[in-house]
Structure 1
Amino acid sequence: MHTHRIQINFTIIQFLLWFSWGTFGLFYIAHLEDLGYSSKLIALTIILSTIFGILGQYVLGFISDKTSKIKYVFLGALFLLILFVIGFGFAAKHLFPMIMVMSLIGFVWLPLESLLDSWILSTKGLDSSLYGFMRAGASFGFAIMTLFFGGFVIKYGYDIIVYAYVITAGFLWIMAFLTKTETIKEPHTKEKIYVKSLLKNKAYIAILIYSMLLFITHMGVNNFYIYIFKNVGGNASHIGISAAFAAFTEIFGFIYARRIISKIAPLKIFLIVGVITFFRVYLLTIATTPTQAILTAILQGVGFSLFLASFKLYVVKITPTRLLASAQTIAAGVTFGLSSIVASLLGGFLIDDFGIERFFDIMNLIALVALIYIGLLFLHDYKKRKSLTE
């Protein structure tokens, strides 16, 4: 298949992946809150789902690296996810079955995006610098769905999130199945490369720590959006509009990511993202109306798109191709997994026992720590490069 055609196909797959997830992933927490579950039980559900997701990252990443069949691992995981979401429709009103099903959903959903990214970045003949353009398709899909779907949820009820996901994810599975690609093959070597070697990669570990700190604030806001908007008089419809604002902004960030990355060093981009994230959390803290809270999503979109495009390519740069799937899935497990666990623990405990104000205080503190940390990494790298030129 022609390279240009493959690029278009991957853009459509990214679009459908997040178009479909926008129907379920953004609203299931609001659904659980509507069913009467407390923020602590919702936090427990998110934590267990994320723990299973981290396990899934390792298992599916290992299988992909071992078999070099990333596409088919992706298709298998997506098929299971569709079945588990159907199961959620039956289990949502019953605590233990609901938690079990959400854990299974986490096991396959969390690795799904990183598997797709690894499939894209390991495809023969495809320019990896175009990743940002293809990822813009995901933001566009998520934006289109969430902009209008919140209104449908308000009108028809939360049961619609299951039906909508199954239908849209079905189209995604068909599109992915029909996309034919070849994988980049590394030159043969007798040297064995182990996943544990990633843990000895100082650059890899350093950026994982930053991504975890950064995304504790992102996941804290995303996981408890319903409480944040209720605090300023909003509802599920405002959650959808806010997510759409963020996603539409991401589109421009991803489209221009290639140009930005070619001119600005990764650590400098990460520093800029740290500043943007800090101001986003602070402005959300002082927001008093749904409109003000929605507008802060623009900063989220800019920061998220710049970070993700740079982060994915940076991981490709500092890790061997044969460990690419593992490197990407572990990175996703830390970025979206561990950070979500910490954010859920903090949110579930703080919101129930101390109120939303204390939750915001901690989110602001973590955003500040992340900014200081990346600032120190940037300063260390600057001094190192300066000493080499002298």
Structure 2
Amino acid sequence: MKKRQIFCFALIQLGYWGYYATFCGYITALLVENGISNTGLSAAVFGYQACAFAGSFLLGQICDRAQSNKKPVLLLSLTVLMLSVLMSHFSTDNRVIALIYAIIGLTFGPMISCVDAWILHTFPGDAALYGKLRAMGPFTLAAGMLFQGQMIERYGYDIMIRGGVISIGIVLGTSLALSDVARTEHRAARHSSQDLKALLGNSNYTSLLVILFLVGMAVAPVNNLKVSIIRNLGGSIGWFGADNFFGIMMQVPLLLLAGRIGRLSLKTRYVLLGILPCGMLILDLLAAHPVMVVLGTCINNAAYAVQVPTMREVTEIYVDGEQKNLGHNLMDAVYGCMAGMISAMYAGVVMDLAGMKMLFSVCMVMQAAAGILVVRYCLKKDKT
């Protein structure tokens, strides 16, 4: 039974990240190909991130109150499948693409938090197994992005729909075959505002939440405008695929070592989160060739590989049982959506008006602020 569950969760990870690699991850490249400006691209990313942020909060509430992870994953997978088919008919209209991209953010964006919570509820306390299953994602994403980049160069952007439909279909079919997990916790009826207030009142949780928000503000502009950055350095869409491949492959060995990383103190892991993204920003600031951007991406993905099991562990340890889904989704939303949404409001404008180096300098300021909070956390005396 356990082997079957592990196999099914591995397939879901493969399908989810396969969809991102073959479809969702190339929507911004399609917009650039259609002639959108950096400011317009930032606006599209803002729409995606804003909807993903709202979706993360709502999905966490729905999962906690329904005491289910399977049903939301099924519903979201079906919705994303229909949106993908719809977008294939409007591949040259940037306004329609941006609208569908935003709706995909609302549905597809928060789905991985729900899947992760499903895994953690099925195999409680098994960080090593979680790390191995999560490693399926980066491996699939890396290989898929590299392969899809080459396929798009050869056959054009119409090839996106095929990979997207197949990948999200795997998630839908496998979720149908996998059983949900019975929950043991019982919750009193409380309003969502009370849930959020209780969650944010937990200092151990919010310390990491704020640090991740600032780190997200530092790295999101670079990630969201990566296609434009590579093009400004003379690179093609193939370099974009290579950047994703080598960067994400950096996550795989570290996620496989999630059990050992979990034995490091939280302070040590927080220091890594404060230092590693600086390496990416310095390389990007000095970049004269796309290969330096790729190296920076590798360093940042090493930080992300430390970050994922750490934020899951902090949530599982310090957040009450009935709020765990909300805690996982909020952590993802603040780092991946809220930070990206806010930075998207200025990143494209800064890049259009002042150039790449000014954008990287702004990002360095954000990362420095995160570093200050890490130092403050490390100097704080442990309470006994």
Decide: shared fold, TM above 0.5. yes
Per-residue deviation, 1:199 = 2.1
Q: Could you say which residue in structure 2 is the equivalent of 1:312?
A: 312
CA contact (8 A) 1:122 1:321 kept: no
CA contact (8 A) 1:64 1:325 kept: yes
| Structure 1, gaps ≥5 residues long | none
TM-score (norm 2): 0.94
CA contact (8 A) 1:274 1:367 kept: yes
TM-score (norm 1): 0.92
Per-residue deviation, 1:112 = 0.7
Q: Could you say which residue in structure 1 is the equivalent of 2:11?
A: 12
Per-residue deviation, 1:217 = 2.5
% of aligned pairs identical?
Answer: 21
1:192 to 1:29, Cα distance in 2 relative to 1, 3 A = closer
Q: Distance in 2 between matches of 1:183 and 1:134?
A: 21
1:36 to 1:205, Cα distance in 2 relative to 1, 3 A = same
CA contact (8 A) 1:24 1:161 kept: yes
CA contact (8 A) 2:67 2:183 kept: no
2:341 alignment partner AA: I
1:20 to 1:191, Cα distance in 2 relative to 1, 3 A = closer
Q: Could you say which residue in structure 1 is the equivalent of 2:296?
A: 296
Give deviations 1:338-380, integer Å, cap 9, x for gaps: 1111221232111111111111111122122211221211211
1:133 alignment partner AA: K
Per-residue deviation, 1:60 = 1.8
Give deviations 1:267-325, integer Å, cap 9, x for gaps: 32021121111112111221211222212222122111011111111111111121111
Match runs of 1:148-167 below 5 Å: 148-167=147-166
CA contact (8 A) 1:6 1:181 kept: no
Q: Distance in 2 between matches of 1:125 and 1:362?
A: 40
Q: Could you say which residue in structure 1 is the equivalent of 2:270?
A: 270
Q: Could you say which residue in structure 2 is the equivalent of 1:282?
A: 282
Larger displacement relative to structure 2 (70-79 or 127-136): 127-136
Q: Distance in 2 between matches of 1:247 and 1:153?
A: 20
2:87 alignment partner AA: F
CA contact (8 A) 1:229 1:293 kept: yes
CA contact (8 A) 1:280 1:300 kept: yes
Per-residue deviation, 1:3 = 2.3
Q: Could you say which residue in structure 2 is the equivalent of 1:21?
A: 20
Residue 329 (structure 2) pairs with residue 329 (structure 1): yes
Larger displacement relative to structure 2 (95-104 or 44-53): 95-104
Give deviations 1:163-220, integer Å, cap 9, x for gaps: 221122112211222122423412x576869422112212222211111111122321
Q: Structure 1 stretches (4+) deviating beyond 3 angstroms?
A: 188-194
1:170 to 1:373, Cα distance in 2 relative to 1, 3 A = same
Q: Could you say which residue in structure 1 is the equivalent of 2:57?
A: 58
Q: Could you say which residue in structure 2 is the equivalent of 1:238?
A: 239
CA contact (8 A) 1:275 1:371 kept: yes
Q: Distance in 1 between matches of 2:16 and 2:218?
A: 24
Q: Could you say which residue in structure 2 is the equivalent of 1:384?
A: 382
2:366 alignment partner AA: I
CA contact (8 A) 2:18 2:144 kept: yes
| Structure 2, gaps ≥5 residues long | none
CA contact (8 A) 1:139 1:250 kept: yes
2:161 alignment partner AA: V
2:182 alignment partner AA: T
Q: Could you say which residue in structure 1 is the equivalent of 2:103?
A: 104
SS at match of 1:26: helix
Q: Distance in 1 between matches of 2:377 and 2:121?
A: 29
CA contact (8 A) 2:60 2:325 kept: yes
Coordinate RMSD, CA, aligned = 1.9
Q: How many residue pairs were aligned?
A: 381
1:38 to 1:3, Cα distance in 2 relative to 1, 3 A = same
